[in-house]
Structure 1
Amino acid sequence: MAQLPPRQSEIVIESEQEEEDYFDYFYDRPGSEPGALSIDPDALPTEIVLIDYNESQAKRKVKIEPSECTPYLETDSVSWMDVQGLGSEAMLKEIGRIFNLHPLLLEDVVNVPQRPKVDDYNDRLLIIAQMVMPKPNEEGFISEQVSFIVGKCYLLTFQEEPLRDCFDPVRDRIRLNKGRVRQCGSDYLVYVLLDAIVDNFFPVLEDYGERIEDLEDEVVLNPTRRTLEKIYQVRRELLALRRAIWPLRNAINTLVRGSSDLISSDVQIYFRDSYDRAIQILDIVETYRELASGLMDVYMSSISNKMNEVMKLLTVISTIFIPLSFMAGVYGMNFEHIPELGWKWGYWGFWLIVAAIASSLIFFFWRRGWFENFYPVKED
């Protein structure tokens, strides 16, 4: 499998120097022409994968040319043309010409990342969503824009990374004729793909639930400066998840309300289920954000408690040595006539009294329970 190039939307927490900004949206340079395409130099070459199916059969073609899509614009079957990679400007413009895409529509598709939304272009529907996936063997998640252009009998999708999506279960259902997907139209295909995107938030949130639990233990038992950095990173990533699911929920709600003739009333009912799960995801994200904010308060309390314990220990030590320092100061004076200086056992008597005073104070503080928190906490 080819190594994927680094992307701006990847969440990286390896070090403070490698922390990336993933809160940006695309914006045009001032004075640029509307509809202009901005191609990322690191974007992968564009390829088209076609899946055409009906109730009786399904066929798949890979690496087809845009001109080969023309016969599938008006057929009795459903044609899913998956455009993978956004690095070939000439090919993308050719796709826009063949499908008669508005320049502003093609701009929203190619110039990533865009805010999730739904735009109605009369005979076609543009849906933009953010797909998130857990990073393999690492903390954090990967974000990718997926654009849907819905036609009467076709679906055109655009993905940034061809080797990384959550649509394999849908492809298997089409190939094996499982469920209702091959008995329904392109609007139902849009539903199952959006539903896969929404469902893919749950494993990401599951990872954050485990991370927050680990941080809770770390904050209480052994808070360090690195703990504060972890809490801050989790809060930032949860905010990025919220910014991905919140507008997506609104976009799905637009489809539920049936603002386009391309979405049938039968499929609108299914979108209600996706809308409910989007709300559930948003509730989980908000709950985790509150927990992360609470961890910040717990961290500050833990650090304050540790400081108080240090000050308490220093206070106890100082209290023990105050009378000892007083006695040492008295007998360290340079007066010529001090009665005890001529005593044969004066030196050893001084140390006996010092030991008795120190032992008495230590015993007093122990009976008051002031030494209990100085012992290390034993974990079960």
Structure 2
Amino acid sequence: VDNFFPVLEAYGERLEDLEDRIIVAPDRSAIAEVHQVKRELLTIRRSIWPQREALNVLVRDEVPNFEHDTRIYLRDVYDHAVRIIDLVETYREICSDLMDLYLSSVSNRMNEVMRVLTVISTLFIPLTFIAGLYGMNFDPDSSPWNMPELRWYFGYPLCIALMVLISAAQFWFFWRKGWIFAGKWDGPVLPVDPGDRSVTGPS
């Protein structure tokens, strides 16, 4: 039974590495490894559970062939089996939390991409309107209302300057609101007590 402790300690370190990978650069390989760890922990749980039940029977029932020292030893082994099952359940919960962390990381990165695309699209909306307005090609000779600014000497430079000014004003507004260059997201904090991950064998 005690041989499970170093195995679970290795799983604890493995889960810590997976958490760092998911926070820094979440990818499908990391979440696939989390699924694999969860399945392996389930296998360990299925292996230790019958042993715990058998030890429980030996500890609770009065077996005449067992001496007093043997019963004390069996109680100690039973306690170790219970601790192992608790650790397995804790690590399986951590695996579930890592899956939620992965989904949260992917969703947040997608939101960052969508925010950048939205800002870029918003910057070009007024520019597209101005370009479309002066691209209608009305003949100014037919009517004095047909875009008289097309005959201005500095009409084209003024139009370009207006478009640059509008873009700069929008960019400044987005920057003041914190919608761009607001800092890099560091990922959510996994709501798990770090003390639960340190696995030490019985003294």
1:239 corresponds to which of 31, 35, 42? 42
SS of the residue aligned with 2:34?
helix
2:176 counterpart residue number: 367
2:93 counterpart residue number: 290
1:268 counterpart residue number: 71
Does structure 2 retain, via aligned residues, the 8 Å contact 1:205–1:285? yes
1:346 corresponds to which of 143, 151, 155? 155
CA RMSD of aligned residues (A): 1.8
* Equivalent position amino acid for 1:215 in 2: L
Alpha-carbon separation, structure 2, partners of 1:340 and 1:231: 65
Return the offset for 1:226.
1.4
Return the offset for 1:200.
0.8
Alpha-carbon separation, structure 2, partners of 1:259 and 1:334: 102
Alpha-carbon separation, structure 1, partners of 2:27 and 2:118: 24
Gaps of 5+ in 1: 1-197
TM-score (norm 1): 0.45
* Equivalent position amino acid for 2:76 in 1: D
Q: Structure 2 vs 1, CA of residues 255 and 376 (structure 1 numbering), >3 Å: closer, same or farther? A: closer
Alignment of 1:1-380 (within 5 A): 198-258=1-61, 260-337=63-140, 338-373=147-182, 375=184
Alpha-carbon separation, structure 2, partners of 1:292 and 1:344: 69
TM-score (norm 2): 0.82
* Equivalent position amino acid for 1:282 in 2: I
Query: What do residues 224-277 of structure 1 show as CA deviations (whole Å, max 9, x unaligned)?
Result: 111221111111111111111111111122222356544333311111001001
Alpha-carbon separation, structure 2, partners of 1:219 and 1:305: 12
Return the offset for 1:362.
0.7
Does structure 2 retain, via aligned residues, the 8 Å contact 1:255–1:263? no
Q: Structure 2 vs 1, CA of residues 376 and 252 (structure 1 numbering), >3 Å: closer, same or farther? A: closer
Query: What do residues 10-41 of structure 1 show as CA deviations (whole Å, max 9, x unaligned)?
Result: xxxxxxxxxxxxxxxxxxxxxxxxxxxxxxxx
Structure with the bigger percentage of strand: 1
Alpha-carbon separation, structure 1, partners of 2:183 and 2:39: 36
More divergent stretch after superposition (366-375 vs 233-242)? 366-375
Gaps of 5+ in 2: 141-146, 187-203
SS of the residue aligned with 1:305?
helix
Alpha-carbon separation, structure 1, partners of 2:113 and 2:61: 64
Q: Structure 2 vs 1, CA of residues 376 and 299 (structure 1 numbering), >3 Å: closer, same or farther? A: closer
2:200 counterpart residue number: none
Return the offset for 1:215.
1.8
Structure with larger RCO (C-alpha < 8 A, sep 6+)? 2
Q: Structure 2 vs 1, CA of residues 234 and 289 (structure 1 numbering), >3 Å: closer, same or farther? A: same
Q: Structure 2 vs 1, CA of residues 262 and 272 (structure 1 numbering), >3 Å: closer, same or farther? A: same
Structure with the bigger percentage of helix: 2
* Equivalent position amino acid for 1:351 in 2: I
Identity %: 54
Alpha-carbon separation, structure 2, partners of 1:256 and 1:241: 22
Alpha-carbon separation, structure 1, partners of 2:22 and 2:184: 18
Alpha-carbon separation, structure 1, partners of 2:51 and 2:22: 34
Does structure 2 retain, via aligned residues, the 8 Å contact 1:249–1:275? yes
SS of the residue aligned with 1:199?
coil
Q: Structure 2 vs 1, CA of residues 244 and 319 (structure 1 numbering), >3 Å: closer, same or farther? A: same
* Equivalent position amino acid for 2:81 in 1: A
